Amino acid sequence: SQQGEEDPQALSIQEGENATMNCSYKTSINNLQWYRQNSGRGLVHLILIRSNEREKHSGRLRVTLDTSKKSSSLLITASRAADTASYFCAFYNQGGKLIFGQGTELSVKP
């Protein structure tokens, strides 16, 4: 399968805690992207990490990429109730299509 595999499928934490989501893939990539989706809405691009980068930060987000293990992680620090959403990793396959993982449903309880 070309799609990304994400774990956990669901994550429930308390406000203020950190949330970590993982993504694994099987193909060679130029970059890996993370998107967020609030329930029943469109996706919002969060961050893009290139294949020659190991770590990238954006506000409370930290993304790592390990191309030798074909895996990436998204860390949200000091989570808020408003972070409750589904989070997807995505990458372009060899045919140039953006392939999405199945997503992690994050629930942050106030």
> Which residues neighbour 21 within 8 Å (Cβ) at sequence distance 6 or greater?
6, 7, 8, 11, 73, 74, 87, 104, 106
Question: If we measure between CA atoms, which residue out of 45, 67, 44 comes closest to residue 55?
Answer: 67
Residue 72 binds other proteins (CB under 8 A): no
| Region near other proteins per CB under 8 A, out of 18-26, 27-35, 61-69, 75-83 | 27-35
Q: Where are the alpha helices (H) located in 1-110, listed in sequence order?
A: none
Window contacting other proteins (CB under 8 A); options: 10-18, 25-33, 63-71, 72-80: 25-33
Which residues in the 87-106 window bind other proteins by CB under 8 A?
88, 92, 96-103
Closest to other proteins by CB, 15 vs 53, is 53
Contact residues for other proteins (CB under 8 A)? 3-4, 30-31, 33, 35, 40-45, 48, 88, 92, 96-103
